[in-house]
Amino acid sequence: MELKGNQVLLQSEELDRYILETSIYPREPKILKELRDATASHPLAFFGTLPSTGQFLTMLLNLIKAKKTIEVGVFTGYSLLLTALTIPEDGKVIAVDKNRASFEIGLPIIQKSGVGHKIDFVESEALPLLDQLLEKEENEGSFDFAFVDADKGNYWNYHERLMKLVKVGGVIVYDNTLWGGTVAMPENLVLEQKRKVRLETIEFNKKMAADTRVELCHAPIGDGITICRRLC
Ligand SMILES: C[S@@+](CC[C@H](N)C(=O)[O-])C[C@H]1O[C@@H](n2cnc3c(N)ncnc32)[C@H](O)[C@@H]1O
Ligand SMILES: O=c1cc(-c2ccc(O)cc2)oc2c(O)c(O)ccc12
């Protein structure tokens, strides 16, 4: 069956709600909830990183003690704000999005949070920005962490660049890599508007699975996330 709405990959929406209400919403920082609420009336509100994914990203950032990070795909800033809240006072997140207007919806909340100074937002297509970062030798292997949540057809292009920017032992997370569960469905059961990204995601997942440069974990959190750790 096609997955819709909040893209629940679990056995039931009730189980998804159970996890949210038991373990996620009560621990979600108030300022992130505020940003989520400010995004709720946006016609593309479903773009926002899911709180389940956000909670996992926060734990991962803490576990690896991430200090210098990159984010590709900001929208109104949910994952960006959680990153800035989690990295240390002298940490930095370089965030790129081709659309500044959506970032500006979250900006007043980010400014109020007191962690805005850790954020360098760049309005740009992501590929040229990553290429620009790579032009400076000092950026190579200098990032602890990257989160990618933008155009799915470019994920492999982002991966090739991020593999040079992230240090050996650093972590890259890709969002939406189960694409509402459609990656495992026959095409004829998938809504027409989801088919292109489904094929792009299947192709990306195949390439990632074969990439021996990384340790890999493909986890059914949120809309599916792929976590990879650079090995060499
Ligand atoms: C799903 S949203 C990101 C959600 C965000 N992580 C959050 O927590 O709310 C995807 C974003 O990627 C941006 N985007 C899509 N293609 C892009 C590209 N080629 N370069 C830069 N940004 C892009 C869109 O403008 C959009 O804001
Ligand atoms: O419904 C979407 C669509 C996208 C998307 C598709 C194609 C692009 O070039 C950029 C973005 O991304 C989404 C996403 O990241 C998400 O978490 C939920 C829904 C969608």
Beta pairing partners, 68 = 92
pLDDT, tens digit (0-9, with 9 covering 90-100), for 119-176: 999 999 999 999 999 999 999 999 999 999 999 999 999 999 999 999 999 999 999 9
Ligand 2 center to residue 92 CA distance, Å?
A: 25
Q: What are 92's strand-pairing partners?
A: 68
CATH architecture assignment, domain 32-230: 3-Layer(aba) Sandwich (3.40)
Of all protein residues, the one whose alpha carbon is nearest to atom 6 of ligand 2 is: 151
Q: How much distance in Å is there from the Cα of 29 to the middle of ligand 2? A: 25
The proportion of the chain whose per-residue pLDDT surpasses 70, expressed as a percent, equals 97
- What ipTM was estimated for this complex? 0.97
Give the residue among 68, 81, 66 at the shortest CA–CA distance from 29.
81
- CA separation (Å) from 36 to 40, 158, 178, 179, 230? 6, 26, 23, 21, 31
- Verify whether ligand 2 is closer than 6 Å to residue 97 (CB atom): no
Ligand with an atom nearest the CA of residue 102: 1
Handedness of CA 127, 133, 137, 143 (dihedral sign): negative
Domain ranges, ordered by start, for the chain: 32-230
